[in-house]
Amino acid sequence: MAGQGLPLHVATLLTGLLECLGFAGVLFGWPSLVFVFKNEDYFKELCGQDAGPIGNATGQADCKAQDERFSLIFTLASFMNNFMTFPTGYIFDRFKTTVARLIAIFFYTTATLIIAFTSAGSAVLLFLAMPMLTIGGILFLITNLQIGNLFGQHRSTVITLYNGAFDSSSAVFLIIKLLYEKGISLRASFIFLSVCSTWHVARTFLLMPRGHIPYPLPPNYSYGLCSGNGTMKEEKETAEHENRELQSKEVVSAKEETPGKGQKQEPRSFWSYALSRRFAWHLVWLSVIQLWHYLFIGTLNSLLTNMAGGDVARVSTYTNAFAFTQFGVLCAPWNGLLMDRLKRKYQKEARKTGSSTLAVALCSTVPSLALTSLLCLGFALCASVPVLPLQYLTFILQVISRSFLYGSNAAFLTIAFPSEHFGKLFGLVMALSAVVSLLQFPIFTLIKGPLQNDPFYVNVMFMLAILLTFVHPFLVYRECRTWKETPSAIA
């Protein structure tokens, strides 16, 4: 097993990273693609004679109607990126890895082919293609996250690397933009992405399990190339066995932390957690920060066009700089490392003081939540200053903030709520935050219309909203203090 299994595990890990890095989260490279679409005159007919004063012989015209159309496409795609997390997660849970990946390949291939054969005259098809692209990408990510189960104590590191690779795949649209500037057509680039689906299919049947990868990993576990005829049944039985073990451990843990002598704590329903203050403030925290990130990415091309006075060369340079900074795979593990170290520190204190292990785990999330809000506040402040060179710092803060955001979100939900409700709560918080993200389009319309391209008041509003997100880590900190002082307060 060691001689044959390890190389297969490593091959699965590396090809999974390549899949997430090259295909899964390309949506976040939207500004690079918008630059190409504008050069190809997509939605140019909406401009008419109304191109803004920024248009000149050296740059792209500032056309309100065209920018609004691109913003609406990104709003719809980013909404689907989050909202579809719940149904795609259900598909993965219900129909297992192979079916989920084949659905992902279908959506992704169809989307890339639509974009490849779309022209300025049929640009409206982007409303169909971009959401399909994000659904396929999300399913690629979900099916790859389980690979962390193959690496035991390094499981969290692998999961954060995959999330970082998902963020970093925005560089794909930068590569397409650079190739376009070298004479490679948009159609050729997207046909190549479509042809890569043969690699996805081969990986699905050769390097991925048909079912789920269980955790903890049982002895003599095999999958992919090494699996036999009875593997699916063995995987199912093993997974059920391990789930029963984990559930029994959770019940024991819950009993140990239950107030009173010998009292048995009644299990709480999913809705009791979904309607709790803790979940509500976490939803506010995620929704506000995510909305600001989506608004910034969706309007970046218009923002840079305004700041650069319509100079296409400068807009191109800063668009490239933004895409180059989007390597979240380098930032993602930092947050997990911070939380792991704090958790070990608090666990040592807990053993000395006899504090609750649940309180210790929750306390370890406070610095991560607060740091994420602080990074986002700095990102918003820099983005609000209309100085082009400062935007380099904005781009760096943006990618670090985004990497911390999604890592903190998953970690908090894992720690703060029972594991049997994690999938539903994760899907619910992502779906509700996706509904909030729809506000980015009316906000963009407000900037382009009544505010006459001046985002100052919108930026001030967002900075105040981001300040509000600090309430969440503060309340979690208060809860931790209460638990330490009165262990019977644990609910």
20 strand-pairing partners:
none
Q: What is the pLDDT of residue 61?
A: 53
What confidence score (pLDDT) does residue 203 get? 93
pLDDT for res 347: 67
Q: According to CATH, what is the number of the domain 8-45+62-218?
A: 1.20.1250.20
**How far, in Å, CA of 100 to CA of 96, rounded?**
6
Q: Residue for token digits 């930068």? A: 174
Fold of the domain built from segment(s) 273-490 = Growth Hormone; Chain: A; (1.20.1250)
| Residues with pLDDT less than 50, the chain | 1-6, 50, 52-59, 229-234, 237-239, 241-242, 245-264, 490-491
- Rounded to the nearest 5°, which phi and psi values hold at 56? -155, -175
Token pair 């729809």 is found at: 438
pLDDT digits (tens, 9 = 90+) for 67-120: 889 999 999 998 998 888 888 888 887 888 899 999 999 999 999 999 999 999
Q: Where in the chain is the domain with CATH 1.20.1250.20?
A: 8-45+62-218
pLDDT of 377 reads: 96
Q: Is 52 left (phi over 0), alpha (psi -120 to 50) or beta?
A: beta
- Number of DSSP helices (H) and strands (E) in the chain, helices first: 21, 0
In the three-class reduction of DSSP (H, G, I as helix; E, B as strand; rest coil), residue 74 is classed as helix
Q: What's the pLDDT score for residue 364? A: 78
Q: From residue 280, give the alpha-carbon distance in Å to each of 41, 274, 284, 285, 423.
A: 44, 8, 6, 9, 17
Centre a 10 Å sphere on the Cβ of residue 241 and count the other Cβ atoms it contains.
12
Q: What is the 3-state secondary structure (H, E, C) of the chain?
A: CHHHHHHHHHHHHHHHHHHHHHHHCHHHHHHHHHHHHHHCCCCHHHCCCCCCCCCECCECCCCHHHHHHHHHHHHHHHHHHHHCHHHHHHHHHHHHHHHHHHHHHHHHHHHHHHHHCCCHHHHHHHHHHHHHHHHHHHHHHHHHHHHHHHHHHHHHHHHHHHHHHHHHCCHHHHHHHHHHHCCCCHHHHHHHHHHCHHHHHHHHHHCCCCCCCCCCCCCCCCCHHHCCCCHHHHHHHHHHHHHHHHHHHHHHHHHHCCCCCCCCCCCCCHHHHHCCHHHHHHHHHHHHHHHHHHHHHHHHHHHHHHHCCCCHHHHHHHHHHHHHCCCHHHCHHHHHHHHHHHHHHHHHHHHHHCCCHHHHHHHCCHHHHHHHHHHHHHHHHHHHCCCHHHHHHHHHHHHHHHHHHHHHHHHHHHHHCCHHHHHHHHHHHHHHHHHHHCCHHHHHHHHHCCCCCCCHHHHHHHHHHHHHCCHHHHHHHHHHHHHHHCHHHCC
| Positive or negative: CA dihedral 201, 138, 100, 128 | negative
